[in-house]
A and B are shown apart, each in its own frame.
Chain A
Amino acid sequence: MTFHKHHLFWPFAVFVLLLVLNIFFSNNFFSITVHDGHLYGSLIDIARRAAPLILVGVGMTLVIATGGIDLSVGSVMAVSGALSCLLIGDLGDPDGVAGVLGAIAVALLLCLGLGVWNGFLVSVIGIQPIVATLILMVAGRGLAQLITGGQILNVTSAPYRVIGAGYFLALPVSVLIAVAVAIVAGLLTRRTALGLLLQSVGGSPAASRLAGIQARGLTWLVYVIAAVCAGIAGLIYSSNVASADSNAAGNLIELDAILAVVIGGTALTGGRFSLSGTVLGAVLIETLNVTILSVGIPVEATLLFKAVVVVVLCLGQSPAFRERVLRRRTPVVATKEVAA
């Protein structure tokens, strides 16, 4: 009965609609085949493409829950890819697992440092999140270019390739990583009190302070988590293309991530958040991208088509809009009194 009131009803409905649409335009859309013990198919493709967005979206959700925003995630992706590729390229044996793991660890450590920087600016200095993270959004790409020397760094490393293009138990490793991070984030927020305190701080900072919550550390923490998530996404991206491209990596992903968070039912004003909603939002966005291709919408119209779907979805989700549409169906007699 109240199924349509569930906060994920609308994104889920649009998701199903897109899948159905795909059946008419692309043959074998739902077919999943096995090659060399790996699963292949359109659905698997969507999941693989959504993996980086899910990772970035998870971090973004926690930041937005505190009432903040992180614009630097795309640049952090570029930095993490650049550093790991550089280090792997310098290894004597790029196929050595230990060396690759070391490179990944250093890259993620740098991302953690970048998150500390963002969190410091926001929670200690008190700069508005949008401005504070804009600094790293611009500077981060510069840093990535500095690391790669302005070149596109190609790497050939079998172990590194596993992250973005490998398979484990027939499933893409990138998807497994994204799902694992989402689950860890879910456990972290729901099994500890982190989720409750973040919602409280985002929902009412003044009340939270008087309840004894020390928001500074929490706010700092979410920017660190967001940067590490973006760092992992950057590794997946660069591993998949076997190179570090400082300009293309994570370009404009911050906007898609914010969109995924909003589609998932987390308000940009902070407060209540939904990680599962963000994951659904990320999958929905990638499904939309795939649908645009399979339906055969001309390339020049794809952005417009995407915009239309997003607008419809957001309106459907808005309680105020739904109420207005419903009210129009049941006419109300205007009872305006005349001012004398």
Chain B
Amino acid sequence: MSADDDVVLEMTGIRKVFPGVVALDGVDLWLRAGEVHALMGENGAGKSTLIKVLTGVYDIDGGDVRLAGQPVRFGGPLAAQQAGISTVYQEVNLCANLSVAENILLGREPRRLGKIRWGAMRRRARELLAGLDLDLDVTAPLSTYSLAIQQMVAIARAVDIDAKVLILDEPTSSLDASEVQRLFEVMRRLKNQGVAIVFVSHFLDQVYQVADRMTVLRNGTLVGEFRTAELPPMRLVAAMIGKELATLEDLEKQPTGRVQKAEPLLEAEDLGRQGGIEPFTLSIHAGEIVGLAGLLGSGRTELARLLFGADRADAGRLKVDGKNAVFRTPRAAMSRGIAFSSENRRTEGVVGDLSVRDNVILALQASRGWMRPVSRRRADELADQYIKALQIRPADPDRLVKDLSGGNQQKVLLARWLITQPRLFIVDEPTRGIDVGAKAEIQRLIAELADGGMAVLFVSAELEEVLRLSHKIEILRERRLVEELENTDAVDATRIMQTIAGEQAS
């Protein structure tokens, strides 16, 4: 079944470089006919880049792609499609106002003398759907069906293009449990017809239900290819977030000085938001680094955003210095001394069209209002001071931020908040996708800030980082805060991974 002569598509040594970032380096992906292959990795691991290479959206800077043994290079998405590689994206991109049959055969309608043969079209659509064990009214508009059915229609469309490889990118994220099962049936059916399926999902249980094999990526490099049966969830998590279990060193732990457990700076009591994060209880003290650990989609960012008022809580209470606080806007949280650096630094962090100087004073200026400008001299001083302190390169306050590398953009963002002298700094994935040197600098900076009395909520997908920096670790799984651990010597990555993987009977 899965001997190597079944290999439909081989990608070897794939390398893809973006300005300032190596997105993929030496990545292999082998897809076999009649197998479901899960592509696993945290945010920024390179999954979506790899898929875009596979579907011809990106050209590669190195490596080989072979389709049925022949070397290929796709000039664009159309070329990939014609070669038999079909993709169904997370958001269904079909035309809801057209009929099911039209959607399935759009652009490939059976014609005679330029006229569409409607009868033949409906027949063909019904055949394709029957192949997926679906019986729909193909003349009804697509919008009359549920999202799950629409997804199946998208798959039917993809399969009609004589698909050898079918890529399903987060297909289950908007489906309920029974719909997911239905999708899996369709996937198994296609698998038995000899299609190679790539399945991308951050729901581990689903991956274990349906995938035969998986390829794990981390930071743009290949961790390895595994048979699902031979890789327990625990080891998969280890592969995704950190080092191999055997080589996990006893990490040197920074948080030595114990935190003065006086009154907490911030307390959340059953704070929650529907569809974001289930109610959680959490407290943070001055000088304390609280780490948030959990997989992508576990609710890390959602939790952080509630504490900053970036999203509004619809349950529970929040207290700052023991007094009730309601944050309807980020500004409200800022006025209580809270800062938040978003994980999406390009879209929600820096403003690319503004200079480094303008970006670093932005939060300070926002809190002062437009009528009380930060003077040019003060802005220059602050920019120079933080360019020096955080070693922002190039050291030019007039440079537009969009021209900086990811790591330097992150430093600009951190500088923007440090200037406001926050009492609690929420940092979401500050080290993602940046080079090793900048990473170490940012980690050191965070430790120093906490030593200076600042409270830090540190969100990271990298367990090592969380372990090294945090005094206290909050572990999230499936949008719930499931465990709180004091970061003592007894706590190691294995212990946290057990909780993340849901293997612990707690």
Name A residues whose Cβ lies closer than 8 Å to a Cβ of B. Answer: 191-194, 196-197, 199-200, 203-204, 206-214, 218, 271-272, 336-340
B199 contacts the other chain (CB 8 A)? no
Is B348 positioned at the interface, with any CB of A under 8 Å from its CB? yes
State whether A213 touches B366 (Cβ < 8 A). Answer: yes
What would be 23 A-B contacts, judged by CB atoms less than 8 Å apart?
A191-B373, A192-B373, A193-B369, A193-B374, A194-B370, A196-B358, A196-B365, A197-B365, A199-B358, A204-B347, A204-B351, A207-B349, A207-B351, A209-B310, A209-B329, A210-B330, A210-B342, A210-B348, A212-B330, A212-B366, A339-B74, A339-B79, A339-B83
Residue in chain B with minimal CB distance to A216: B329
Residues of chain B contacted by A212 (CB below 8 angstroms): 329-331, 334, 363, 366-367
Q: Which residue of B lies closest to A213 (CB)?
A: B366
304-332 of chain B: CB within 8 A of chain A: 308, 310, 329-331
Q: Is B386 an interface residue (CB 8 A)?
A: no
Looking at the assembled complex, report how far the CB atom of B110 sits from the nearest CB atom of chain A, in whole angstroms.
Answer: 27
Asked if B353 is an interface residue, CB under 8 A from chain A, the answer is yes
Distance in angstroms between the alpha carbons of A218 and B342 in the assembled complex: 23
B404-421 interface bits toward A, Cβ cutoff 8 Å, 1 = contact, 0 = none:
000000000000100000
Residues on A with C-beta less than 8 A from B367 are 212
9 additional contacts, CB 8 Å, given A197-B370, A209-B310, A213-B366? A193-B373, A199-B354, A204-B347, A204-B350, A207-B347, A209-B330, A211-B416, A212-B331, A272-B354
Instruction: Indicate if B372 sits at the interface (CB-CB under 8 A).
Output: yes
- Which chain A residue lies CB-closest to B67? A340
The answer to whether A196 and B362 touch across the interface, beta carbons within 8 angstroms, is yes
Q: Name the residue among A193, A210, A214 with the largest chain B CB count within 10 angstroms.
A: A210
Cross-interface CB contact of A206 among B67, B70, B347, cutoff 8 Å: B347
User: Is the beta-carbon distance between B354 and A200 smaller than 8 angstroms?
Assistant: yes
When distances are taken between beta carbons in the complex, the residues of chain A under 8 Å from B368 are: 193
Instruction: Specify the chain A residue showing the minimal Cβ separation from B367.
Output: A212
**B399 on interface, CB distance cutoff 8 Å:** no
Which partner residue on chain A sits nearest B350 by CB separation? A207
Minimum distance in angstroms from A140 CB to a CB of chain B: 28
In angstroms, how far is the closest chain B Cβ from the Cβ of A66? 13
Q: Are B329 and A214 in contact (CB under 8 A)?
A: yes
Residue from A208, A211, A338 having most chain B Cβ neighbours under 10 A: A211
Chain B residue nearest to A272 (CB atoms) is: B353
C-alpha spacing A200/B401, complex, angstroms: 12
Known: A212-B334, A214-B331. A206 touches B348 (CB 8 A): yes
- In the complex, what's the smallest C-beta–C-beta distance from A185 to chain B, in angstroms? 14
* Contact present for A340 and B71 (CB under 8 Å): yes
| A318 shortest CB reach to chain B, Å | 17
The residues in B between 48 and 88 inclusive whose CB is less than 8 angstroms from any CB of A are 67, 70-75, 79, 83
Q: Tell me the complex Cα distance, A337–B463, Å.
A: 42
Q: How far is the CA of A213 from the CA of B359 in the complex (A)?
A: 12
> Cβ of A340 and Cβ of B351 under 8 Å apart?
no
> Is there contact, CB below 8 Å, between A204 and B362?
no
Bound form: Cα–Cα A194–B407 in Å = 29
> Are A339 and B73 in contact (CB-based, < 8 A)?
yes
Task: Please tell me if the beta carbons of B350 and A339 are within 8 angstroms of each other in the complex.
Answer: no
- Name the CB-closest residue of A to B358: A196
**Distance of A336 Cα from B72 Cα, bound (Å):** 12
Are A340 and B363 neighbours in the complex by a CB distance under 8 Å?
A: no
* B371 contacts chain A at the CB level, 8 A cutoff: yes
CB-CB < 8 A to B358: which residues of A?
A: 196, 199-200
Question: How many angstroms between the C-alpha atoms of A336 and B431 in the bound complex?
Answer: 37
Contact status A210-B340, CB under 8 Å: yes
Instruction: Name A339's closest neighbour in chain B (CB-CB).
Output: B72
B361 / chain A contacts, CB cutoff of 8 Å: 196
Give the chain A neighbours of B350 by CB distance below 8 A.
204, 207
Known A-B contacts A197-B365, A212-B330, A212-B366; the reply to A203 vs B354 at CB < 8 A is: yes
Q: How far is the CB of A127 from chain B (nearest CB, A)?
A: 21
A224 to B263, CA, bound (A): 47
Contact status A271-B353, CB under 8 Å: yes
Q: Does B502 contact A (CB under 8 A)?
A: no
Residues from chain A with a CB closer than 8 A to the CB of B347 are 204, 206-207
Q: Determine whether B264 belongs to the interface, using a CB cutoff of 8 Å to chain A.
A: no
Collect the chain B residues with CB atoms within 8 Å of residue A200's CB: 351, 354, 358, 362
Query: Considering only CB atoms, which chain B residue lies closest to A221 in the complex?
Result: B370
CB-contact partner of B70 in A192, A214, A340, under 8 A: A340
Docked pose: A197 CA to B364 CA in angstroms: 11
Asked whether B352 lies within 8 Å of A203 as measured between CB atoms, the reply is yes
Enumerate B333-358 residues with CB–CB distance to A below 8 Å.
334, 340, 342, 347-354, 358
With CB as the reference atom, state the residue of chain B lying closest to A337: B73
How far in angstroms is the closest Cβ of chain B from A211? 5
Whether A210 contacts B310 by the Cβ 8 Å rule is yes
Nearest A residue to B417 via CB reads A211
Determine the chain A residues whose CB is within 8 A of the CB of B331 once the complex forms: 212-214
Smallest beta-carbon distance A21→chain B, Å: 35
State which of A210, A272, A339 has its C-beta within 8 Å of the C-beta of B349.
Answer: A210
Residue in B348, B366, B372 whose Cβ sees the most chain A Cβ within 10 Å? B366
- Which chain A positions have C-beta within 8 A of B330? 209-212
B354 neighbours in A (Cβ, 8 Å) = 196, 199-200, 203, 272
Note all chain B residues with C-beta closer than 8 A to A191. Answer: 373
> Using Cβ atoms and an 8 Å threshold, which residues of chain A touch B372?
193
A209: chain B residues at CB < 8 Å are 310, 329-330
Distance of A281 Cα from B125 Cα, bound (Å): 56
Minimum Cβ distance to chain B for residue A220 (Å): 12
**Within the assembled complex, what's the spacing in Å between the Cα atoms of A315 and B476?**
53
**5 nearest CB pairs, A to B:** A212-B366, A193-B373, A340-B70, A213-B366, A203-B353
Nearest CB of chain A from residue B230's CB, rounded to whole Å:
34
Contact pick for B370, options A193, A210, A271, CB 8 Å:
A193
A211 contact from B70, B72, B352, B363, Cβ within 8 A: B363
A272 to B401, CA, bound (A): 13
Q: CB-CB < 8 A to A192: which residues of B?
A: 370-371, 373
Give chain B residues whose Cβ lies under 8 Å from the Cβ of A211: 330, 362-363, 366, 416
A196 to B416 alpha-carbon distance, docked (Å): 14
